[in-house]
Structure 1
């Protein structure tokens, strides 16, 4: 489970209360309403100016992941020619404690065998790969997703090519209901603890870290009842014509 899940749960009830109050204030009809007299603008007030800084971060966020993928060649530096199955199997090999025996995702290796020729495609956990330039170097990068067993979470990974090597620049596991690519950002949508809400986590390319770094975490209303509006459909991420699932 993502470390964010435990941190978010404590905030969920408070966020819903605030959003519900806002919805009530806006009214149910969607018609224009008078807001009354305009209050006098007040500048921000800085509280506790002598407060000492904390000795440790508030939350143990993994803000960036970067690792060279061992054992996977990149023919002609073209990431589209890399076999996604090889990439996932390389990760399994690199993290034996997570994927072997009683590890958190110990059921994944056996299912990955079904991704090879002659396997049961319905049991293969690998999702369709997507290709888009997320690093800004003018070349396509690889976004992979694969189901994790027995947790039924989804692993989301992003890879780029540097100096003829395949490099992982994003690694996140979570309960995910959707992923979007926007410019050089990747947005994950996850179910919230309360019906009608979801979490959206944004990762963006950071040229200094040379990785996709954690940028923003949102807690949003999604069921369309607020203000009588229906939620707008999310745009599908662009995919290279050459993208394939195997």
Structure 2
């Protein structure tokens, strides 16, 4: 049978179906791109300028101390503890009580009270061993609580050959404590419903206080004087995507903070 060409009105549904199919495909591609590309997170939060220090008396110059012509404070060393020899295996074998008894920088009040050790009235905490000078060997951190005077003394001792000398003495309110942050030592005290912290860093001679600007303040040598962790970023791969239950950072990777370790966890 011979077929004749269709002469009726054209089918208008075909262009409409074709347009709908193309639109659906484009919408699918857009959805895929939105999952992996940039996305609109809304209006950016308004940033506040950082708080800066404003001196009360910018034109005031403090008087020069009488001993200003002496050695530069950061280069002063504490005296060697005479009568104490550093064991070859390190300070873990040294007598902490003997270190305090022989150390001339320890207040007489503390040296006299050592007669109560060991005993229930002994104010000596257990020694803590940490490397706070970066030489690969542990220093010993010693703390003494003198309840009668309301004071706590913290000394850090370092072995240099067979000699032992303190590299930090800190005297503060009763309850003085601390922690290590990387190789730095952070001493904290609480008084009058406020918390005060001082961060110390090894400068090659002593542990010197670090100022907020990153410099080093004058260490308390030779006499003792009163003184939130971000979560690590989660990386993803095209094959696996982000892990369930973990947040994916918007951009970049956060640096991992220095490890923090308390010196006296039970205090």
Under TM normalisation by the shorter chain, which class is it? 0.5 to 0.7
Q: 1:81 aligns with which of 78, 93, 104?
A: 93
Spell out the pairing of 1:90-239 with structure 2 (5 A cutoff). 90-91=102-103, 94=104, 98-99=107-108, 106=109, 108-116=110-118, 120=119, 122-148=120-146, 150-175=148-173, 176-193=175-192, 195=193, 197-207=194-204, 210-216=205-211, 235-237=261-263
Higher helix residue share: 1
5+ unaligned residues in a row in structure 1: which ranges? Answer: 1-32, 100-105, 218-233, 240-246
Aligned partners of 1:192 and 1:198 also within 8 Å? yes
Compare relative contact order (CA 8 Å, sep 6+) and give the higher one, 1 or 2.
Answer: 1
* Cα separation, 1, equivalents of 2:208 and 2:105: 21
Please give the per-residue CA displacement for 1:12-46, whole angstroms capped at 9, x wherever unaligned.
Answer: xxxxxxxxxxxxxxxxxxxxx9966x79x9xx9xx
- Count of aligned pairs between the two proteins: 163
Give every structure 1 segment of 4 or more consecutive aligned residues whose post-TM-superposition deviation is greater than 2 Å.
33-36, 51-57, 62-67, 108-111, 234-239
Note the C-alpha offset of 1:236.
Answer: 2.5
* Cα separation, 1, equivalents of 2:206 and 2:80: 12
Higher mean C-alpha displacement, 132-141 vs 68-77? 68-77
Note the C-alpha offset of 1:155.
Answer: 0.5
The structure-2 alpha-carbon separation of the partners of 1:135 and 1:146, relative to structure 1 and needing over 3 Å to count, comes to same
Please give the per-residue CA displacement for 1:41-72, whole angstroms capped at 9, x wherever unaligned.
Answer: 9xx9xx9xxx6965538xxxx87762211111
5+ unaligned residues in a row in structure 2: which ranges? Answer: 1-42, 66-72, 213-259
Q: So what's the TM-score if we normalise by structure 2?
A: 0.51
* Cα separation, 1, equivalents of 2:93 and 2:115: 20
CA RMSD of aligned residues (A): 3.8
Q: So what's the TM-score if we normalise by structure 1?
A: 0.55
Note the C-alpha offset of 1:149.
Answer: 5.3
Larger Rg: 2
